[in-house]
Structure formats: C-alpha cells, structure tokens
C-alpha cells in the first residue's frame, strides 16, 4: 500500500507545509522519496523539531531493559508525514552504520515512536539514545519477535524512505 494513501488519514497539521530549518544540533536526517526538505534534498531534525511533532509517551518494558520505562517521542508515521514521505518501506540507520528495514504499514498498525527520552530524561548514547525506534511491546505480545527486535534500532542517525 502506498504511503500517500496511508497518510490521507492524518491530521493536516501533521503533513508538511514546509519544514523549518533546525536551530540546534541535528539528531536525525531523512532522505529518499520525500517532498518536504530543509537542507537541499534532505530533511534535518533537531530535538525541538522532533518535539513539535506531537510526541507520544509509551510506557513499556523492552527486551533491553529490566524494568518498565516511559519513553517519549514522535510517532514514526508523524515523522514520515512531516517530510512528505512516499514509499512502502524505510531503512533506519544507526550511528554505527547498523541498518534495518521497516515496512511503512507496520508504522500504521502500531504506535511506533522515535523515542527521545526515557522517564523524562533525554536518552544518552550509552542508554540507546539519542533516538530509538520503540515498538509498544507491552500492548502487543505479537511484537515479541526476532524480526521486530531487529527493527528496534537504537542510536538512530538517519531514515531513508524507499
């Protein structure tokens, strides 16, 4: 299914009217099949721009944490809407060049967030930050699979829309 069709159900405020330039440190770069950019053919996001995308809090226990934590960040589908993404999959790349492909449909089936904080504190690199693809594991037992754990990229640096 085409992302453009999936994005039709999002509020108009979520779909880019032009992306402002980041003023702080760039935490995320989005490339590929996108229409709204702010750095040549790329979209750059700092913490403030990501926080402007109506962040959601997901309290869950992950396969990498012993205790439940409350993670906060924008829905991945909101990030894609903000850049006018059109594609069926994304490739998320970590700071160490690890890559995972995620079907866009999955981002609509589940409230997957790009976590920026845990328990109210920004996530440092040593604790899976600064950005972490977080699935709502606690609400959906079917997400406890090797494939989903592989897609739960931490130290996220970029997203490429295919």
The mean pLDDT of 85-107, rounded to a whole number, is: 98
Residue 122 within any structural domain of the chain: yes
Backbone angles phi, psi at 94, to 5 degrees: -90, 170
The mean per-residue pLDDT over the stretch 32-43 comes to 97
**Residue 58 belongs to what domain range?**
3-10+26-161
Q: Which of 93, 101, 102, 105 is nearest to 154 (CA)?
A: 93
What is the CATH classification number for the domain harbouring 105? 3.90.420.10
Number of domains forming the structure of the chain: 1
Report the mean per-residue pLDDT for the chain.
91
Report the side by side order of strands in the sheet with 99-103. Answer: 43-45, 28-32, 156-161, 89-94, 99-103
Residue 32 domain-assigned (yes or no): yes
| Inside any domain, residue 16 | no
Q: Whole-angstrom distance between the N-terminal and C-terminal Cα of the chain? A: 13
Integer Cα distance of 98 and 156 in angstroms? 9
Residue 1: is its pLDDT beyond 50?
A: no
64 against 6, higher pLDDT: 64
- Residue from 136, 142, 153, 63 nearest 100 by CA: 153
Inside any domain, residue 15: no
Q: Which pLDDT does position 17 carry in this prediction? A: 53
In a domain, 111, yes or no: yes
17 within a domain of the structure (yes/no): no
């Amino acid at each position: 299914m085409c992302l453009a069709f999936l994005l039709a159900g999002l509020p108009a405020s979520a779909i880019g009217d032009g992306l402002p330039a980041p003023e702080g440190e760039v935490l995320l770069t989005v490339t590929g099949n996108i229409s709204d950019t702010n750095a040549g053919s790329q979209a750059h996001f700092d913490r403030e721009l990501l926080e402007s995308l109506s962040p959601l809090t997901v309290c869950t226990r992950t396969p990498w944490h012993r205790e439940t934590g409350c993670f906060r960040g924008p829905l991945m589908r909101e990030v894609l809407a903000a850049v006018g993404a059109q594609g069926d999959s994304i490739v998320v790349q970590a700071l160490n060049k690890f890559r995972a492909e995620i079907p866009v449909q999955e981002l609509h089936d589940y409230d997957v967030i790009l976590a920026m904080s845990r328990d109210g504190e920004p996530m440092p690199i040593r604790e899976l930050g600064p950005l972490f693809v977080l699935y709502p594991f606690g609400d959906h037992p079917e997400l406890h699979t090797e494939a989903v754990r592989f897609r739960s990229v931490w130290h996220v640096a970029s997203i490429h829309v295919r």
